[in-house]
Amino acid sequence: MLKGCAVKIVSSEFRVRSMKSKNSELRTIYSELVSRQSGMTLIEFILMVMIIGILSVVVIPKLDIASYFGAPVGGGAFLIASDIRYAQEFAMANRVSKSVVFTSGASVYTFSPSSGLDPSGRLPSGVTVGSNFTITFNSLGEPTVGGGGSVSVSSGGQTKTISVVNYTGKVNIS
């Protein structure tokens, strides 16, 4: 404690005034003694990241998110729809006919005539084609050989149907 000091409260700040001491006059503001900090220290941040990491390692595997959202079947359906659109655009850009051939029970499909630019034609693991189907596009992008049609994919009891509209070649997923 400082002997002979007077403490005066001025507008919620503590000012300490002292009489002349041996060294010098002590004048300070309380807010200068305790620095105002906002934010987090690096150690607090690292601890927070570690706790979130541990919780995510424990909780996420128990959620089984992939089967909840039907990711494999939905992903396979979008992949097939994208590849059918690719075949249509390839046919129009190169002024040739392009086909996509699906075989029932298979997890791959092929393009005819094949090109080095063709996608792989592989479905996600566990997803299979439900029916035989071949779609061919002419140089105008129209489906030929029977027009439009549909192909289904399934996995784990879930099924998605990809249909191609006759004359326009529009691809829909249901």
Domain-located, residue 164: yes
Given this model, what pLDDT does residue 48 score?
A: 94
For the chain, how many structural domains are there in total? 1
156 versus 13: the higher-pLDDT residue is 156
Domain-located, residue 116: yes
C-alpha span between 120 and 114 (Å, rounded): 11
In tens, the pLDDT along 44-57 reads: 999 999 999 998 88
Domain-located, residue 149: yes
In tens, the pLDDT along 150-168 reads: 888 888 788 888 888 888 8
Domain-located, residue 140: yes
Q: How far apart, in Å, are the Cα atoms of 102 and each of 16, 33, 51, 131, 147?
A: 87, 77, 48, 7, 15
Domain-located, residue 94: yes
Domain hosting 125: range is 72-173
pLDDT > 90: what percent of the chain? 7
Domain-located, residue 166: yes
Domain-located, residue 115: yes
C-alpha span between 122 and 153 (Å, rounded): 12
In tens, the pLDDT along 126-141 reads: 888 888 888 888 888 8
Domain-located, residue 96: yes
CATH of the domain at 134: 3.55.40.10
